[in-house]
Amino acid sequence: MNQLNRRDFLKGSSAMMTLASFGLFGMDFKDQEGPLKVALIGTGWYGKSDLFRLIQVADVEVVALSDVDRNLLTAAGELVSQRQKSKKVPELFENYQDLLKKHKCDLVLIGSPDHWHALQAIDALKSGAHVYLQKPISVDVIEGEAILAAARKYNKKVQIGTQRKSTPHLIDAKKQIIDTGKLGKISHAEVCCYFHMRANGNPPVEPVPDFLNYEMWTGPAPMRPYDGLPHIRWWRTFMEYGNGITGDMCVHMLDTVRWMLKLGWPTQITSTGGIYVQKEGKSNISDTQTAIFEFPELNVVWQHRTWGNPVDPEYPWAFKIYGEKGMLAGSTMQADYIPFDSKEEKVHFDCFFEREKYPEDLTEDRIELNAAPATRLHMKDWIASIDQDTLPIADVEQGHISTASCILANISMELGGRALRYDPKNMTVIDDPEATAKLRRPYRAPYVHPEPKNV
């Protein structure tokens, strides 16, 4: 595999022409003696996928991995040894805190379930590492505020895995359609997900296998009876560990619309929904939900259903931005500009792949080939931000706004659909003590909820 040093890692990419058109050349990377030391916390599917994309584009040495599942951890160690230049197996840790104490890492990637993100990210930042944190950044709003406070306090760059901002065809669509004003005045956007991705069922309670530390896997979350390995979406079907489809999928598309239109915090959020159809299993996340994120003279409306047909089969997980002169639709696979004037030409944007440049992608288990180029660009941007002391494209503050907005939508739904107005300065929901109390989830002892002022 081609290894690139930090000064030269943009050169020779098959995405060169695409990157050049987006103004990503001309970066002045600092000299680096030897590879960057990297660790991964959470060695499941997407944690490994992120790590492998980093190995492809930067001069790194993966020195350590951590996971509470010994089987996953051992297998990941072998895969990393096959991928990295040194061919060394990283040191393996069950407890991520032991990893951070022993290894002084330059970069830490976090691919654990959502309920662990805050504690692990803050500990990694305190250890002196820059962090790549998967979305959503937190399971409650104050966790997100604490991560943001820690990133700023320790002056570390935190890149969030909202990589639509690094997706070539969406960057191109933004540049050609949004930035040129082709849509005219924009006053409505829709974001949606109609994937049948809500794991559901009634598996029996069973003994915890000896290769899994279920106590540590659960961490600060409520302790559920063990009913099978939580990996690969089973944990996502429970609100104990995340924020449902809205927290998992809306965060991507809301973040994309916010980036394209340069939007900050919503002024008001309302949401309704629940379990309307898929009532037969243990899952307690909504199967149907609508949320309205209000901005000045612009509403972003979210809809998900984990049953039935998508509204638009071409765009089952997507955004659509509406202006007076036309509409821009986008997804991980494509984008389309459809003008209001039928005499004006439509514009289609194809997904960008790099199969020839990175043939190892073709044999990687469960890889999202359409997302791999975006993740590689995301990694390059992250390292460039460290070298130049600038904020990365998916900086933690933007990830926090998108994550917290989705969490607030769930709180609104829980409270019967009432409108919530979040005040980030005071970290309260304006004139709503009941909603404000829900900005912090209770932590299971002995874990202590992080607070922005104490990080």
What is the DSSP-derived secondary structure letter of residue 240? T
Q: How much is the CA Rg of the chain, to the nearest whole Å?
A: 21
The closest of 105, 198, 202, 224 to 156, measured between CA atoms, is 105
Q: Are 360 and 350 in contact (CB under 8 A)?
A: no
The helices-and-strands tally (H runs, E runs) of the chain is 13, 16
| Residue 420 covered by a domain | yes
Q: Are 148 and 391 in contact (CB under 8 A)?
A: no
Determine phi and psi for 22, rounding to 5 degrees: -100, 5
- pLDDT tens digit sequence for 86-121: 999 999 999 999 999 999 999 999 999 999 999 999
Beta strands in 316-359 (DSSP E): 317-323, 326-330, 334-339, 347-350
pLDDT at 30: 57
Domain limits for position 181: 166-202+213-355+400-454
The closest of 372, 388, 394, 326 to 187, measured between CA atoms, is 326
Determine phi and psi for 433, rounding to 5 degrees: -60, -35
| Residue 70 covered by a domain | yes
DSSP string, 429-445: ETT-HHHHHTTSPPPPT
| Residue 8 covered by a domain | no
pLDDT at 31: 57
Tokens of residue 41, six digits: 């916390």
Residues 124 and 192 in one domain: no
The closest of 100, 105, 60, 104 to 80, measured between CA atoms, is 60
Distance between CA atoms of residues 225 and 221, nearest Å: 12
Residues 310 and 384 in one domain: no
The closest of 248, 268, 307, 243 to 422, measured between CA atoms, is 268
Residues 104 and 230 in one domain: no
Residues 105 and 192 in one domain: no
| Residue 207 covered by a domain | no
Give residue 206's identity as a one-letter amino acid code.
Answer: E
| Residue 247 covered by a domain | yes
Q: Where are the alpha helices (DSSP H) in 9-65?
A: 16-21, 45-57
pLDDT at 232: 85
273 CB-near residues (< 8 Å, 6+ apart): 286, 288, 289, 290, 291, 413
**What is the average pLDDT score of the chain?**
93
Residues 157 and 170 in one domain: no
| Residue 9 covered by a domain | no
What CA–CA distances, in Å, run from 186 to 171, 199, 251, 252? 18, 36, 21, 20
Tokens of residue 136, six digits: 């959503």
185: domain CATH number is 3.30.360.10
Angle between helices 251-261 and 396-414 in degrees, nearest 10: 130
Residues 41 and 121 in one domain: yes
- Taking CB atoms within 8 Å and a gap of at least 24, the contacts of 91-96 are 91/63, 91/64, 91/65, 92/64, 92/65, 92/66, 93/64, 93/65, 93/66, 94/66, 94/67, 94/68, 94/70, 94/213, 94/216, 95/66, 95/216, 96/41, 96/66, 96/120, 96/123
What predicted TM-score, i.e. pTM, was given to this entire model? 0.93
109: domain CATH number is 3.40.50.720
Residues 230 and 137 in one domain: no
Q: Within 10 Å of residue 35's Cβ, how many Cβ atoms?
A: 19
Residue numbers in the chain where pLDDT is lower than 70 = 1-32
Residues 101 and 46 in one domain: yes
Residues 433 and 306 in one domain: yes
Residues 173 and 269 in one domain: yes
Residues 391 and 292 in one domain: no
| Residue 10 covered by a domain | no
Distance between CA atoms of residues 55 and 245, nearest Å: 30
| Number of domains within the chain | 2
Residues 393 and 420 in one domain: no
Sign of CA dihedral 173, 179, 185, 190: positive
| Residue 320 covered by a domain | yes
What CA–CA distances, in Å, run from 433 to 202, 307, 415, 422? 36, 35, 12, 11
Determine phi and psi for 134, rounding to 5 degrees: -70, 155
